[in-house]
Amino acid sequence: MDANLWKPIPGSIIPPMPARFFAPDLVGPDQPLALPPDEAAHLVRVLRLSGGDIVSVFDGRGVEYLARVETAEPRRVVVRPFESVKPPPEPKVALTVAQGLLKGRKFDAVVRDLTMVGAVAVQPLVTDHSEAHERDPERWMRVAVASAKQCRRAVVPLVRFPVSFRQLVDEDDAPLRLLLVEPEVAESNDSLGRLRNGPTPSAATLAVGPEGGWSAEEVTRACQAGFVPVTIGRRTLRADAVVVCAVSVLLFLWGDL
């Protein structure tokens, strides 16, 4: 059943769009499943659902089911999946976004938005111009889960532990590796549009700098390692905004928009 086409049955207690819950231990139909504590608390205390109510559960890896609540207690919720749900399709290209750490809670917004647009992984980066020191992958994963629930995506991107930009350059082996650079650094032919007539890769990595951008040494090192410098136009955008703009352009070029 396509969740996007879900319609209530006249006289049914099932809502038009059942509430969604992250269930990483989801096995399959007719297998009772205990929700994680935070998901259970949300179901009982926030949404005030109870036994017999219909919800949707997804495992974060692309599988989703309608499920009936069997037990609804403050610290324990058990559901029984009964019907497969077809979630929205994933993008054709498995895109990892390597983002320089940002100040404050801006990185939360980046994780939230990258989840919505379809990234498969987010790699936080420590760069020459990084001013942020926060390293909290567990919170970022919670942000990713919440975003996936909201946008009805059944895949939760992996938010990795921060690594140095040097490590990314030395170890990343994606078929296509892109380095987003500022307009003043870019050459005339560095627009993302240059990818329009190229082959669509199976996977790609997009590296995006922090508020202060890349250092000259980082740009040189990345290009020598095979990263392709690209820009999205003549204007310099905020670090927490430019990444979503760039990913959206890539999705369009690869036929996903």
Token code pair at residue 181: 């650079």
Contact 81, 64 (CB under 8 A): no
pLDDT at residue 14 greater than cutoff 80: no
pLDDT digits (tens, 9 = 90+) for 60-80: 999 999 999 999 998 899 999
Band (pLDDT 50/70/90 cuts) for residue 154 is very high
Domain spans of the chain, in order of start: 3-85, 94-253
Residue with tokens 């204007």: 235
Residue with tokens 């980082």: 218
Contact 63, 27 (CB under 8 A): no
pLDDT recorded at residue 133: 73
pLDDT digits (tens, 9 = 90+) for 221-254: 999 999 999 988 777 788 888 999 999 999 999 9
Chain mean position to CA 106: 15
pLDDT recorded at residue 238: 86
pLDDT digits (tens, 9 = 90+) for 17-61: 799 999 999 999 999 999 999 999 999 999 999 999 999 999 999
Specify the CATH class of 94-253 in words. alpha beta
Residue with tokens 């690869």: 254
Q: How far is it, in rounded angstroms, from Cα 236 to Cα 249?
A: 16
pLDDT digits (tens, 9 = 90+) for 96-135: 999 999 988 899 999 999 999 999 999 999 999 988 777 8
Band (pLDDT 50/70/90 cuts) for residue 186 is low
pLDDT at residue 188 greater than cutoff 80: no
Contact 50, 69 (CB under 8 A): yes
The residue among 131, 103, 80, 98 whose CA lies nearest residue 208 is 98
Q: Spell out the long-range contacts of 41-49 with Cβ–Cβ below 8 A and sequence spacing 24 or more.
A: 41/74, 41/75, 43/19, 43/69, 43/72, 43/77, 44/72, 44/73, 44/74, 44/77, 45/74, 47/19, 49/19
Comparing 3-85 with 94-253, is the CATH topology the same?
Answer: no
Token code pair at residue 120: 């498969």
How many percent of the chain have pLDDT more than 90? 73
Neighbouring CB atoms inside 10 A of 237's CB total 15
* Residue 209 backbone phi and psi in degrees, to 5: -80, 175
Specify the CATH class of 3-85 in words. mainly beta
Contact 22, 145 (CB under 8 A): yes
Neighbouring CB atoms inside 10 A of 67's CB total 27
pLDDT at residue 12 greater than cutoff 70: no
